[in-house]
């Protein structure tokens, strides 16, 4: 049995990829129709199918917790500490009250 070259294997991979994409395209319409039918039949909601939605607050702005009295700069206390507070032995004096 002769070993295949890299070019032969790449061509085989490209053919297999094209065959896979064609099979997905052929089957996806039927699968989607089946899913829609079952959702309608059983009255599933988006939450039933996908679980709870991510909160809209994920990644949103967090209220400032610390204030630099000299510049008015603020920091939420999350992430890397800014230079004006990172070496402070007691951060309590910077807390926003």
pLDDT-derived band at 12, boundaries 50, 70, 90: very high
Q: Does the pTM of the predicted model rise above 0.75? A: no
Query: What span, in angstroms and rounded, lies between the C-alpha atoms of 97 and 24?
Result: 59
| Mean pLDDT confidence for 6-22 | 96
Sequence ranges of the domains in the chain: 6-50, 54-97
What is the average per-residue pLDDT within 28-57? 86
pLDDT at 66: 94
Interval 24-38: pLDDT, tens: 999 999 999 999 999
Report d(CA 96, CA 92) in Å as an integer: 9
Rounded distance between C-alpha atoms, residue 74 and residue 66, angstroms: 6
């Amino acid at each position: 049995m002769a070993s295949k070259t890299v070019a032969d294997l790449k061509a085989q991979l490209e053919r297999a990829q094209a065959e896979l994409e064609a099979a997905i395209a052929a089957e996806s319409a039927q699968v989607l129709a089946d899913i829609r039918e079952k959702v309608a039949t059983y009255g599933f909601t988006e939450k039933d199918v996908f679980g709870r939605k991510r909160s809209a607050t994920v990644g949103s702005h967090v209220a400032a917790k610390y204030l630099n009295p000299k510049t008015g700069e603020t920091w939420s206390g999350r992430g890397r500490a800014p230079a004006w507070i990172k070496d402070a032995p007691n951060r309590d004096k910077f807390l926003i009250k």
